[in-house]
Structure 1
Amino acid sequence: MRRVLILRPEPGAGRTAQAMARLGLEAVVHPLFAPQALEWKAPLAGNFDALLMTSAHAARLAGPALAAYRGLPAYAVGSATATALQAQGFDRVVAGDGDASAIAAQIATDGHRAVLHLAGTTVAPMETGQLHVTRIAVYSMTSLPPDPALLCDAVPGTVLLVHSPRAGERLAAQVPMAARAGLHIVAISPTALAACGAGWASGTAPAQPRDDDMLALVVRLCEGSGL
């Protein structure tokens, strides 16, 4: 059985682990970061005609001020982000299955221009086109101390799931070059894959930054190796 190390924060790590278990794979969770809410000043909802969320963490950690924007059409990157928004009382949520640039294009197509983007302190590049985007950080990702168990669990043949460029950088800092030759990387994007550095047994990323597509690559890797 191929072992998979999940490096993303909770609660996403738990969802990925459950999906791994359904595929008959052994999943071990080793979060490299933990989300932390930030204080933020909420602008007037009337200044915007759409709300954008590119992370479920933003929906969960924005706090009571988020309720002021329930009257706006909301756009989310991914089903998990959409579900988190709906849990906060938003009943008009458009979920995109591509990246932030794809959902920005959808917002523009729907005729909106002034967009409030509640996000983390670091965000993936996004092509905004004709949109006027006001981005406010409502959470940050705090680095967790290095866990020696990560190297112990990363036995040869292990697949490591990397869900962000920052996670790739942290992983590269914690796994020495000499320990990489038997380990495989499946990253959420080419940028996240590049951040992992060199020396791994293999590295790949899906065409679209989706968790399900990452899992499909893991399955293909296992089938190709006969494990």
Structure 2
Amino acid sequence: MLYWLLKNFVLGPLILTLFRPWVIGRENVPASGPVIFASNHVSFIDSVVLPAVLDRRMSFLAKSDYFTGRGLKGWATKTFFNAIGQLPIDRSGGKASEASLRTGLQVLARGEQLGIYPEGTRSPDGKLYRGRTGIARMVLEGRVVVVPVAMVGTREVQQIGQKFPKAKRVGVVFGKPLDFSRFEGLETDRFILRSVTDEIMHELRGLSRQEYEDVYATSVKERASTARESVMRERRTAGGR
């Protein structure tokens, strides 16, 4: 009920007014049944703009950090993310990844729409990076179609580290549904999982027209973080001389 109220009377109208999203390929969105939307991820607002242009309820798998904050701010953040259909997942890998998979499959089993960012994190620089194979497992185990989605212009509205978004127009491009039923029963084959994931990323690249790099975005972020720490150490050392 809270999701419906927010989407139709509060957050939805606000998002549509602020960002005036244009949409291409709306005919590619299934009118009913479970579906996975595989989207590029260049801005925080991707997670609120995409559901706003869809008619049916949509859930996103969001990092658990958004749900564990303390105090009034933590409560407000958790309430907001719950209200807009975000589901907490642990990204630490292993058993946590398996639990995330099950959470997504439960959404699909209810015949609902699920949003996934195959890259696993926001792009640090606007490029498109290698997809994680978790999406392929969910597609094959859930036996659902995938609709690739390109978010356009959202990075210019709100970049990483920017507190408040600009009121600027953005776009959403839906590609044709991808059917991977030919791989049914092969969800444990890592070569199949990689092939399915790469096909999804290929479609995303064509829709978004982003520059593609065949490395994980998390690796790029880790290298950048290490470089920043190295610079800070050098400055502290130089300052102590």
- TM-score, normalised to structure 1's length? 0.36
More helix by share: 2
Higher relative contact order (CA 8 A, sep 6+): 2
More strand by share: 1
